[in-house]
């Protein structure tokens, strides 16, 4: 029986178990349900959980263990000559066996012992699946029967079901947490491998970035140099330019939207502004590369400046536009959250509208606004597509916005695209860069959330 | 039944208002005539004509939704900040129509201060809360003058002794009663002529309330005060004149003592004896 079908059957069994539980609960207290500790529904759920969950756990464990067991058995069954082979070779053979058994493409004419092994593989899998089905179909009703016998007037079925639901919810939230932990750990370990090849201090404080390494000893090529400071400075420069655009524009538009705009105008304009956030960044990227960058170049040349055709300015400006909705939307929310009583208090003292906003509303909303801006900063630092297309790849250590610069994210992309060896310093450098990026944005986010939360405590 | 009450109401209105002009020996600070307020389609205040006398405490009483707060907010044009609110009729202050387009609402509010139901100190220091009004109106030429204004305002509001050691602490950290006195001090700091109070004690405990009432009595020397209250005892304790509102209409206005001992209108009598409202 295929696994998905087995799950379906288990679900069906649980529904039946539910009915049994309900009727059993009604039977133990005929005509006077009030004496039951829990309502019959909870007894039904209690039995259903007993029916479904243990069988499901058995199935999941089986599916997790089966490949390991099968591999052990199949490889053990090969002639002794194979035992002496190196591990990499054995892995190749195992792949062959599996592909043969599953009907995938294999190398031409496999050896007879390989074919025999594939046959064993197939047989073991068939037996395993059958055993699993039988096991589940026995375990589920048995567990349900155990639970039904427990149904009594005093059974605290409601509390048990509530506890089971709590466990389920905890498990769901753990999925997200473990994913994060997994990502961090993989970044960390790959970075450690990189730092074994390149000293941490050279990476963090080196001024020259040129990640090309020679593949062979006789190859003409640089030995690679991994000073990431030009990347950090480029990232900083572009983020700075984008924040210079996004913060004033976003904040002003938020103030206009929340304090001055007519309700009807706001109803139209706010979603329009938020559309900016929905535009794919790759679209922003070619807008920056094909429209804004040439414009800036021409404008610069008209003024007698030399402008690189891929400039930090173009990427930063367009990224700033992209981030406007982050700043304006969050600022708008926190400005609206400032109690009307604050404004009334200022108006009643004879403050004008702009005085009220400048001296009372914005200061009251400031922590929230700062939080929004910090979230926008971490978005700017992590943004990739626009800078890949508009800012260029040359790692110049420059703070001139008219120069081409590159960022951490752009370098990660270029280091990992194309065919790469996964143990060269060049590739591993991407993980180290990723780790730095992660630490910076995590720090900013934590700080921003802390600021926002502090603000919330003040008014609720 | 209802029409009967209404007819009665109309009757009393014409009764009480005809003689008011002569009956008031003191000068009227604010004269409202035929004031109507609409919130969208809702007719919230109907033809209210009332004099607020200078140097007295006038209290507005009446059941919830009777229009007393609405009328109060007409006196410093706070209703302007509410969407869909229309005011008609005239409200004269010292002989000037405050709804005249030539009147600057900002200056008007500097002359008519307001204290709200819920204490609403700004999220700033105690000092800055008081200094805010004088700063925006340019009332102090230098830091010393500003300090002077802040200290006298706190002194008049009876808060100075409690806060003089922590002027830089946030105003929101004070207790409810202290916050309300801070708001009163904030209103006083602009040297208004009239102070409007919208249920200033409804969020406070009895001890804080007693302090505020005492304060209102002292402030009467320098300011004309209008107070909206749900507590009839409070109206009786602090005010010299009382106006009773019901369903958007002014039912009866008179000396506080007369209103509470010998009300002319049976709606007023019903309300003060607790038969309804």
Q: Where residue B18 falls among pLDDT bands split at 50, 70, 90?
A: very low
Q: Rounded to whole angstroms, what are the CA distances from A262 to A258, B61, B84?
A: 9, 35, 12
For residues B221-229, give the mean pLDDT: 93
Q: Is residue A164 part of a domain?
A: no
Q: Is the pLDDT of residue B17 over 50?
A: no
> Please, what sign has the CA dihedral across residues A236, A242, A245, A249?
negative
| The pLDDT of residue B237 | 92
Report d(CA A280, CA A278) in Å as an integer. 6
| The pLDDT of residue A220 | 60
> Between chains, do A351 and B136 touch, taking CB under 8 Å as contact?
yes
Are B57 and B239 contacting, i.e. CB atoms less than 8 angstroms apart?
yes
Domain check: are A303 and A432 in the same one?
yes
* Domain with A132 in it: 3-155
| The pLDDT of residue B74 | 92
Q: Is the pLDDT of residue B23 over 50?
A: no
Domain check: are A245 and A149 in the same one?
no
Looking at the partner chain, which of A347, A349, A352 has a beta carbon nearest the beta carbon of B186?
A: A349
Under-70 pLDDT residues of chain A: 1, 32-33, 105-108, 213-223, 455-460
| The pLDDT of residue B153 | 93
What string of DSSP letters covers A160-185? HHHHHHHHHHHHHHHHHHHHHHHHHH
| Neighbour tally for B184: CB within 10 Å | 26
Report d(CA A79, CA A137) in Å as an integer. 37
SS3 content of chain B, % helix, strand, coil (to 5): 45, 25, 30
Are A122 and A115 contacting, i.e. CB atoms less than 8 angstroms apart?
no
Q: Is the pLDDT of residue B145 over 70?
A: yes
Q: Rounded to whole angstroms, what are the CA distances from A108 to A82, A90, A96, A115?
A: 19, 18, 10, 12
Q: Is the pLDDT of residue B12 over 50?
A: no
Domain check: are A145 and A236 in the same one?
no
Domain check: are A24 and A134 in the same one?
yes
> Please, what sign has the CA dihedral across residues A232, A418, A427, A438?
positive
- The two structure tokens encoding residue A225: 């140099």
Q: Is residue A188 part of a domain?
A: no
Say which CATH number the domain at A352 has.
Answer: 1.10.3720.10
Q: Is residue A150 part of a domain?
A: yes
Q: Residue A63 contacts by C-beta under 8 Å, 6 or more apart in sequence?
A: A3, A132
Residues β-bridged to residue B52 = B30
Q: Rounded to whole angstroms, what are the CA distances from B254 to A321, B229, B238, B257?
A: 64, 16, 14, 8
Greater confidence, B248 or A454? B248
Domain check: are A453 and A304 in the same one?
yes
> Between chains, do A345 and B120 touch, taking CB under 8 Å as contact?
yes
Angle, alpha carbons A300-A302-A305 (nearest 5°): 40
Greater confidence, B192 or A36? B192
Looking at the partner chain, which of B106, B123, B172 has a beta carbon nearest the beta carbon of A352?
A: B106
Q: Where residue B16 falls among pLDDT bands split at 50, 70, 90?
A: very low
Q: Is residue A71 part of a domain?
A: yes
SS3 content of chain A, % helix, strand, coil (to 5): 80, 0, 20
Are A429 and A345 contacting, i.e. CB atoms less than 8 angstroms apart?
no
Q: Is residue A356 part of a domain?
A: yes
Spell out a b/e string for A304-317, using b for 16 or more CB atoms within 10 Å of the CB, else e. eeebbebbbbbbbb
Q: Can you state the angle between helices A112-150 and A3-28, rounded to 10 degrees?
A: 10
Domain check: are A104 and A245 in the same one?
no
Domain check: are A15 and A129 in the same one?
yes
- Which of B104, B114, B136, B176 to probe the A interface (max A CBs under 10 A)? B136
Looking at the structure of chain A, the number of domains it has is: 2
Domain edge (last residue) among A155, A184, A207: A155
Are A347 and A356 contacting, i.e. CB atoms less than 8 angstroms apart?
yes
Q: Is residue A20 part of a domain?
A: yes
Are B55 and B176 contacting, i.e. CB atoms less than 8 angstroms apart?
no
For residues B251-271, give the mean pLDDT: 91
Quick one: how far is CA A202 from the chain centroid?
Answer: 30
The structural domains of chain B, ordered by start, are 2-272 (3.40.50.300)
Report d(CA B79, CA B166) in Å as an integer. 35
For residues B220-246, give the mean pLDDT: 92
Spell out a b/e string for B60-85, using b for 16 or more CB atoms within 10 Å of the CB, else e. bbbeeebbbbbbbbbbbbbbebeeeb
Report d(CA B74, CA B31) in Å as an integer. 12
B117, closest residue in chain A (CA to CA):
A341
Decide if A260 touches B, using CB distance below 8 A: no
Element holding B58 (H helix, E strand):
strand B57-61
Report d(CA A448, CA A250) in Å as an integer. 17
Domain check: are A148 and A230 in the same one?
no
> Between chains, do A349 and B118 touch, taking CB under 8 Å as contact?
no
Which positions in chain B have a beta carbon within 8 angstroms of at least one beta carbon in chain A?
A: 76, 78, 81, 83, 106-110, 113-116, 118, 120-124, 132-133, 136-137, 172, 183, 186-187, 190
Domain check: are A42 and A131 in the same one?
yes
Domain check: are A143 and A24 in the same one?
yes
Quick one: how far is CA A457 from the chain centroid?
Answer: 29
> Please, what sign has the CA dihedral across residues B126, B128, B131, B132?
negative
Q: Residue A182 contacts by C-beta under 8 Å, 6 or more apart in sequence?
A: none
Q: Is residue A324 part of a domain?
A: yes
Domain check: are A27 and A134 in the same one?
yes
pLDDT in tens, B168-189: 998 888 998 899 999 999 999 9
Domain edge (last residue) among A155, A174, A197: A155
Q: Rounded to whole angstroms, what are the CA distances from A181 to A42, A175, A188, A224, A257?
A: 36, 10, 10, 31, 40
Q: Residue A240 contacts by C-beta under 8 Å, 6 or more apart in sequence?
A: A316
Q: Is residue A212 part of a domain?
A: no
Average pLDDT, chain B: 86
- Which of B132, B188, B192, B228 to probe the A interface (max A CBs under 10 A)? B132
Looking at the partner chain, which of B109, B122, B183 has a beta carbon nearest the beta carbon of A360?
A: B122
End-to-end CA distance of chain B: 17
Domain edge (last residue) among A155, A184, A204: A155
Domain check: are A143 and A262 in the same one?
no
| The pLDDT of residue A1 | 59
């Amino acid at each position: 029986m295929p696994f998905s079908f087995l799950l379906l059957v288990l679900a069906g069994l649980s529904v039946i178990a539910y009915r049994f539980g309900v009727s059993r609960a009604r039977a133990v207290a005929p005509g006077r349900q009030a004496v039951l500790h829990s309502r019959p529904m909870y007894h039904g759920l209690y039995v259903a959980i007993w029916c479904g969950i243990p069988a499901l756990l058995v199935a999941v464990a089986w599916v997790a263990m089966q490949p390991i067991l099968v591999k052990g058995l199949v490889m053990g069954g090969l002639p002794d000559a194979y035992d002496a082979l190196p591990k990499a070779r054995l892995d190749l053979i195992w792949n062959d066996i599996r592909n043969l058994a599953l009907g995938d493409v294999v190398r031409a004419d496999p050896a007879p012992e390989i074919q025999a092994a594939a046959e064993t593989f197939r047989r073991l899998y068939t037996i395993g699946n059958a055993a699993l089905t039988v096991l589940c179909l026995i375990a589920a009703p048995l567990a349900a029967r155990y639970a039904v016998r427990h149904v009594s007037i005093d059974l605290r079925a409601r509390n048990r079901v509530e506890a089971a639901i709590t466990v389920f919810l905890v498990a769901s939230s753990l999925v997200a947490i473990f994913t994060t932990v997994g990502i961090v750990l993989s970044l960390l370990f790959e970075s450690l491998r990189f730092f074994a090849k390149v000293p941490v201090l050279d990476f963090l404080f080196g001024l020259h970035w040129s990640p090309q390494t020679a593949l062979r000893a006789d190859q003409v090529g640089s030995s690679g140099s991994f000073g990431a400071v030009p990347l950090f400075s480029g990232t900083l420069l572009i983020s700075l330019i984008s924040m210079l655009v996004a913060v004033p524009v976003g904040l002003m538009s938020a103030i206009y939207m929340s304090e001055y705009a007519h309700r009807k105008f706001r109803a139209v304009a706010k979603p329009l502004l938020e559309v900016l956030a929905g535009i794919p960044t790759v679209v922003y990227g070619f807008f920056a590369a094909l429209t804004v960058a040439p414009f800036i170049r021409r404008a610069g040349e008209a003024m007698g400046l030399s402008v690189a055709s891929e400039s930090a300015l173009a990427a930063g400006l367009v990224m700033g536009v992209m981030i406007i909705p982050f700043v304006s939307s969050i600022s708008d929310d926190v400005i609206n959250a400032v109690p009307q009583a604050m404004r009334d208090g200022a108006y009643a003292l004879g403050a004008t509208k702009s005085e009220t906003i400048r001296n009372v509303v914005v200061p009251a909303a400031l922590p929230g606004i700062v939080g929004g801006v910090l979230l926008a900063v971490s978005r700017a630092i992590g943004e990739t597509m626009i800078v890949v297309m508009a800012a260029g790849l040359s790692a110049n250590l420059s703070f001139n916005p008219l120069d081409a610069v590159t960022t951490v994210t752009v370098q990660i992309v270029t280091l990992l695209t194309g065919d790469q060896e996964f143990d060269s310093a060049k590739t591993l450098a991407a993980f180290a860069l990723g780790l730095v990026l992660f630490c910076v944005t995590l720090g900013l986010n934590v700080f921003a959330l802390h600021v926002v939360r502090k603000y919330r405590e003040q008014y609720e | 039944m209802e029409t009967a009450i209404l007819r009665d109401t109309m009757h009393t209105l014409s009764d009480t208002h005809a003689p008011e002009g002569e009956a008031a020996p003191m000068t009227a600070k604010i004269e409202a005539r035929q004031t109507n307020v609409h919130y969208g389609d809702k007719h919230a205040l109907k033809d209210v004509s009332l004099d607020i006398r200078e140097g007295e405490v006038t209290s507005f009483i009446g059941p919830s939704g009777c229009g007393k707060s609405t009328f109060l907010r007409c006196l410093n044009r706070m209703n302007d900040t509410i969407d869909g609110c229309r005011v008609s009729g005239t409200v004269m202050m010292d002989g000037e129509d405050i709804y005249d387009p030539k009147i600057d609402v900002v200056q008007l509010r500097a002359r008519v201060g307001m204290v709200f139901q819920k204490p609403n100190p700004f999220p700033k220091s105690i000092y800055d809360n008081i200094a805010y009004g004088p700063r925006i109106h340019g009332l102090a030429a230098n830091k010393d003058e500003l300090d002077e204004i802040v200290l006298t305002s706190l002194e008049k509001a009876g808060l100075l002794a409690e806060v003089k050691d922590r002027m830089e602490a946030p105003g929101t950290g004070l207790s409810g009663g202290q916050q309300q006195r801070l708001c009163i001090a904030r209103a006083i700091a602009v040297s208004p002529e009239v102070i409007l109070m919208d249920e200033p004690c409804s969020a406070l405990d009895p001890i804080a309330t007693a302090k505020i009432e005492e304060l209102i009595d002292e402030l009467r020397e320098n300011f004309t005060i209008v107070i909206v209250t749900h507590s009839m005892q409070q109206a009786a304790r602090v005010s010299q004149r009382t106006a009773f509102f019901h369903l958007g209409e002014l039912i009866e206005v008179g000396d506080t003592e007369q209103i509470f001992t010998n009300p002319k209108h049976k709606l007023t009598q019903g309300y003060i004896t607790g038969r309804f409202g």
